[in-house]
Amino acid sequence: MKRNTSSQWGTVAIGLHWLLAVLIIGQTVLGAAAEDAQVSPEKFDLFVWHKSLGVSILLLVLLRIAWRLTNPPPDLPAGLSSRDWQLARAGHCLLYALMIAVPLSGWVASDSSRIPFRIFWSVPTPDLMAANRDLSELAGEIHELLVIALLLVVAGHVLAALHHHFIRHNDVLRRMLPWR
Ligand code: HEM
Ligand code: HEM
């Protein structure tokens, strides 16, 4: 089923969840590799890949949020308290906020630098900001801090999923798996 039901996530929500999880982890490795590379044409290319993938991730996150808003999530599995529910909801809101804030801060770092950027070497991007080295560096620092925050929240999220599965023996993880 494409849409969510009262007891199951639908294939679209599951597909977007795992596609984004894989892309975001890959994007983190790519960003760190681009940052560490010696100044060279390859470094420039790594950054074009990083920014292009980052813009694609942002578009997918917006699509995911639109889908989420028009598809109510499944009900809580039996045995979960309202405190569990509030905690999970707060964690998920934070994940969505960081999945938007990380690419936006990267965009500001890129757009306020002097380096021209075409998505996948072809689609020109609007030049919204004047070149400003201080702003670009600050946005770069914020981008890095937000990535660390995202990774920490993801780590908590994964631990919570495993806790539900192995300790509380409920359906929370199973119903998000693509092969259930
Ligand atoms: C989910 C999306 C993204 C993730 C997880 C991510 C992750 C990263 C990471 C890990 C670094 C290296 C930080 C360091 O080691 O210092 C980095 C740097 C960078 N990223 Fe991203 N990024 C994302 C999206 C974007 C987007 C959409 C753009 C621009 C269009 C972008 C532009 C940059 C730039 C310019 C840097 C260098 C920053 C600096 O040091 O000044 N990123 N990113
Ligand atoms: C970059 C990595 C990840 C991100 C950004 C992420 C993000 C999210 C978000 C935002 C939700 C809330 C869905 C909603 O209510 O709309 C969610 C749900 C979920 N995630 Fe992740 N996730 C990631 C990786 C993982 C991993 C590795 C696991 C498993 C170990 C996992 C297990 C789950 C489960 C079980 C749910 C469903 C929770 C429920 O039914 O309320 N996630 N994820």
Place of tokens 């804030």: 101
Alpha helices in 37-81 (DSSP H): 41-70
Distance from Cα 29 to the centre of ligand 1, integer Å: 10
Q: Are 2 and 43 in contact (CB under 8 A)?
A: no
Does the beta carbon of 55 sit less than 6 angstroms from any atom of ligand 1?
Answer: yes
Radius of gyration of the CA atoms of the chain, in A = 19
CA nearest ligand 1 atom 6, residue: 28
Measured in whole angstroms, the distance separating CA 22 from the mean position of its chain's CA atoms is: 9
- Residue-level pLDDT, tens digit, the chain, 180 residues: 899 999 999 999 999 999 999 999 999 999 999 999 999 999 999 999 999 999 999 999 999 999 999 999 999 888 889 999 999 999 999 999 999 999 999 999 999 999 999 999 999 999 899 999 999 999 999 999 999 999 999 999 999 999 999 999 999 999 999 986
Amino acid 76: pLDDT: 86
CA nearest ligand 2 atom 23, residue: 21
The CATH number for 11-176, chosen from 1.25.40, 2.60.40, 1.20.950, 2.70.98, is: 1.20.950
DSSP state at residue 175: G
Domain boundaries, the chain: 11-176
Distance from Cα 47 to the centre of ligand 1, integer Å: 8
CA nearest ligand 2 atom 39, residue: 172
Amino acid 1: pLDDT: 82
φ/ψ of residue 119, rounded to 5: -65, 125
Residues 6+ apart with CB under 8 A from 38: none
Place of tokens 């890949």: 49
Tell me the pTM: 0.96
In 3-state terms, the chain is what percent helix, strand and coil (to 5)? 70, 0, 30
Measured in whole angstroms, the distance separating CA 115 from the mean position of its chain's CA atoms is: 24
